[in-house]
Amino acid sequence: QVQLVETGGGLEQAGGSLRLSCAASGRSWRTYANMGWFRQAPGKEREFVADISWGGGTTRYADSVKGRFTISRDNARNTVTLQMNSLKPEDTAVYYCAAAMTAQALAVMSRSPKAGYWGQGTQVTVSS
């Protein structure tokens, strides 16, 4: 079992910044070492945003957020962070933290939700 709790969402103006954090816990969280972020806007499917390997050496980003968002992790504190800069109204969505056993499993979690674990989500709203 893995529990994921997101914090840090809120309302921000376009061009501003927000920082999301995800705290992992549970007996199996180290097994689900690949972690990342997805988002779901109203009326749209959940989509991949970014992910990071256990050691932090490998990161991937959706094209829509490259150069603006940065994912990082602190394994000593069991946390993964998403720094979001230069926010745009189209970034408005509920952001979900996710954890999976492999990078491949994490990549398909939006289509296969049971491939790993999800947090409860945190709302990010960007006003124009």
pLDDT of 86 above 90: yes
Identify the pLDDT of residue 47.
95
Which among 92, 7, 100 has a CA at the least distance from the CA of 54?
100
What's the average model confidence in pLDDT over 55-78?
94
Identify the pLDDT of residue 112.
86
Which among 61, 36, 21 has a CA at the least distance from the CA of 117?
36
Summarize pLDDT for 3-15 with one digit per residue, the tens: 999 999 999 999 9
How many CA within 13 A on the CB side of residue 47?
Answer: 16
pLDDT of 1 above 90: no
Identify the pLDDT of residue 115.
87
Summarize pLDDT for 97-124 with one digit per residue, the tens: 999 998 899 988 988 888 899 999 999 9
Identify the pLDDT of residue 54.
87
